[in-house]
């Protein structure tokens, strides 16, 4: 049986522990061995059956280990996980049992789909993208590598979210609109037009700030 190691022991890491524990493969194909985090005290005050095993920088993946990324911020997620990928780490794609997924949905390596996510049909989800609780992605949409959708986001039909982009909680992307690579869409924003790469937008309608 493989040992599953969660990368990141912060709040989202603890959530991912719970989602992974609820997965039918837990205890069958893999078991949760612990966390990697640069803060050895990250779990202090929390009651979990596993511990922080050490830092990412000092961990050398073994053949029987799988990893799952539990870091929300795209730039940090990339910087941390790339260290492990450079050492030939294998990352699990985690789909919570409550996820609804239609036909022709392509999931990349290291994707995390949290409870209540809906992916309708004909969708591409890039490597290490994360979609948090109760978010939805419509037909023919594209989510880029390392992107993060916070909870309650709505990416509608034909929309695109670029590589390493971040959508805050409750963000809405209208049909066919594009959020450029590295862009930030603030919580509760409604995107009516394309968002330039590396820009920050907020509001309804979303404007640069």
Residue 101 to residue 110: CA distance in whole angstroms: 17
Structure token pair of residue 24:
């039918």
Q: Is 81 helix (H, G, I), strand (E, B) or coil?
A: helix
SS3 at position 179:
strand
Domain positions in the chain: 2-92, 95-201
**Both tokens assigned to 106:** 């392509």
**Arithmetic mean of pLDDT over the chain:** 97
95-201 is classed CATH 3.40.190.10: no
Write the CATH number of the domain with boundaries 2-92: 3.40.50.20
Q: How many CA atoms lie within 13 A of 202 on its CB side?
A: 6
Residue 209 pLDDT exceeds 90: no
Cα–Cα distance list, 165 to 9, 62, 136 (Å): 22, 31, 16
- The torsion angles phi and psi of 26, rounded to 5 degrees, stand at -70, 125
Dihedral sign, Cα of residue 105, residue 169, residue 79, residue 209: positive
The closest alpha carbon to 77, from 20, 161, 8, 169, belongs to 8
Q: In what order do the strands lie in the sheet with 184-185?
A: 94-95, 112-113, 130-131, 148-149, 166-167, 184-185, 200-202, 207-208
Average pLDDT of 98-115?
Answer: 98
Give the bridge partners for 26, in sequence order.
Answer: 30
Please give the share of the chain, as a percent, with pLDDT higher than 70. Answer: 100
pLDDT tens digits, 140-198: 999 999 999 999 999 999 999 999 999 999 999 999 999 999 999 999 999 999 999 99
42: pLDDT confidence band, cut at 50, 70 and 90?
A: very high
């Amino acid at each position: 049986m493989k040992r599953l190691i969660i990368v990141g022991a912060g709040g989202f890491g603890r959530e991912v522990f719970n989602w992974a524990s609820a997965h039918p493969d837990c205890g069958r194909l893999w078991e949760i061995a612990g966390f990697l985090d640069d803060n050895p005290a990250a779990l202090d005050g929390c009651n979990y059956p596993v511990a922080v095993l050490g830092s990412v920088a000092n961990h050398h993946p073994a053949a029987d280990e799988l990893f799952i990324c539990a870091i929300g911020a795209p730039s940090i997620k990339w910087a941390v996980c790339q260290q492990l990928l450079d050492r030939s780490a294998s990352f699990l794609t985690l789909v919570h049992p409550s996820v609804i997924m239609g036909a022709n949905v392509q999931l990349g390596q290291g994707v995390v789909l949290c409870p209540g996510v809906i992916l309708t049909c004909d969708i591409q989800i890039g490597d290490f993208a994360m979609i948090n609780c109760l978010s939805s992605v419509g037909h023919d949409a594209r989510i880029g590598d390392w992107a993060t959708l916070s909870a309650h986001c709505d990416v509608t039909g034909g929309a695109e979210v670029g590589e390493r982009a971040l959508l805050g909680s409750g963000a809405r992307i209208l049909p066919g609109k594009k959020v450029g690579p590295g862009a930030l869409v603030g919580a509760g924003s409604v995107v009516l037009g394309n968002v330039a790469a590396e820009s920050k937008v907020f509001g309804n309608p979303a404007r640069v700030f």
